Amino acid sequence: MASLSTDVVYDILRRLDGPTLAAAACSCATFCSISREERLWENVCSSMWPSTNREDVKSLISSIGGFRKFYADCFPLIVCKEVTEYQWNGHLEYPEEWTESEYYGDNMGLESISPLDFVSIVDIRYKDKTICTKVLWGIPNANGSNTWFRNCPFRIDLHDDCEGEVTLSVSDGLPPITSMEKERKDGKLWKELQDSLCLSWIVVHRKLKQAANLASWSPLGGQRHWPTDKDFVIRFGSVLPAKDILFLPCQVVECIINMKFRVEGDGVGTTLKLTELSMQLEDMEGAHVNGRNSLLILKEALSCRRSKNYREVVESWHLYSKVQSELKEEKMRNENRLDRLCILSGIAAFVTFWYYIL
Q: Specify whether the CB–CB gap between 246 and 101 falls below 8 A.
A: no
Of residues 152, 155, 115, 120, the one with CA closest to residue 135: 120
**DSSP bridge partners of 167:** 273
Q: Are residues 286 and 247 in the same domain?
A: yes
pLDDT, position 199: 93
Q: Are 27 and 156 in a shared domain?
A: no
Provide the 8-state DSSP code for 50.
Answer: G
Q: Considering the domain boundaries, does residue 150 fall inside one?
A: yes
Domain match, 202 and 309 both: yes
Least confident of 58-72, 101-115, 206-220, 274-288: 101-115
Same-domain pairing of 195 and 67 = no
Residues 236 and 257: beta-carbon distance below 8 Å = yes
- For residue 95, being part of any structural domain is answered with no
Residue-level pLDDT at 9: 87
Q: Measure the CA–CA gap between 282 and 292, rounded to whole angstroms.
A: 13
Name, in order, each residue with C-beta under 8 angstroms of 154's C-beta and a sequence gap of 6 or more.
280, 281, 288, 289, 290, 291, 293, 294
Q: What is the pLDDT of residues 25-60, one digit of tens each?
A: 888 888 888 888 999 999 999 999 999 999 999 999
Q: Among 75, 106, 134, which residue terminates a domain?
A: 75
Question: Is the domain of 63 the same as that of 123?
Answer: no
Please report the DSSP string for 180-211 in residue order.
HHHHHHH-HHHHHHHHHEEEEEEEEETTTTEE
Contact 265, 250 (CB under 8 A): no
Same structural domain, 129 and 25: no
Question: What pLDDT does residue 268 have?
Answer: 60
**Residue finishing a domain among 25, 48, 75:** 75
> For helices 38-48 and 18-25, what crossing angle results, to 10°?
150
Computed over every residue of the chain, the mean pLDDT equals 81
pLDDT band for position 66 (cuts 50, 70, 90): very high
The answer to whether residue 350 is domain-embedded is: no
Checking if the pLDDT of 278 tops 90, the result is yes
Residues 247 and 121 in one domain: yes
The band of 63, judged by pLDDT with boundaries at 50, 70 and 90, is: very high
Give how far Cα 257 sits from Cα of 67, 159, 160, 279, Å.
Answer: 25, 12, 15, 4
Q: Is residue 340 part of a domain?
A: no
Asked if residue 206 lies in contact with residue 60, where contact means CB atoms within 8 angstroms, the answer is yes
Same domain, 24 and 167: no
| Distance (Å, whole) CA 44 – CA 7 | 18
Q: Are 332 and 90 in contact (CB under 8 A)?
A: no
Q: Is residue 288 domain-resident?
A: yes
String of DSSP letters for 145-172 = T-HHHHHSBPEEE-GGGSSS--EEEGGG
In the prediction, which pLDDT does 246 show? 64
- 320 in the same domain as 178: yes
Clarify whether residues 130 and 200 are in a common domain: yes
* CA distances to 105, 108, 109, 151, 288 from 244, in Å: 13, 10, 11, 17, 17
Q: Is a pLDDT exceeding 50 seen at residue 110?
A: yes
**Has residue 355 been placed in a domain?**
no
> Which domain, by its residues, includes 41?
6-75
- Residues 144 and 277 both lie in one domain: yes
> 195 and 64: one domain?
no
pLDDT for 124: 93
Q: How far is CA 100 from the centre of its chain?
A: 32
What three-state secondary structure class fits 60?
Answer: helix
| Domain contains 137 | yes
User: Quick one: CA torsion of 91, 295, 237, 138, rounded to 10 degrees?
Assistant: 150
Distance CA 240, CA 83 (A): 9
Determine the pLDDT at residue 261.
86
Instruction: Render 80-108 in DSSP notation, one character per residue.
Output: ---GGGSPP-SS----SS--HHHHHTTTS
Q: What percent of the chain has pLDDT over 90?
A: 28
Angle between helices 67-74 and 38-48 (to 10 degrees): 40
What is the pLDDT, as a whole number, of residue 20?
92
pLDDT band at 357 (very low <50, low <70, confident <90, very high): confident
Cα–Cα distance between 119 and 96 in angstroms, integer?
38
Q: Is 357 inside a domain boundary? A: no
With b for 16 or more beta-carbon neighbours within 10 A and e for fewer, the 156-176 pattern comes to bebbeebeeebebbeeeebee
Domain count, the chain: 2
pLDDT, residue 83, reads 66
- Rounded CA-CA distance 64/3 in Å is 36
pLDDT tens column, 81-108: 776 555 554 444 444 443 444 444 444 4
Digit-coded pLDDT (tens) for 131-143: 889 999 998 877 6
Vertex 274 angle, CA 268 and 277, to 5°:
160
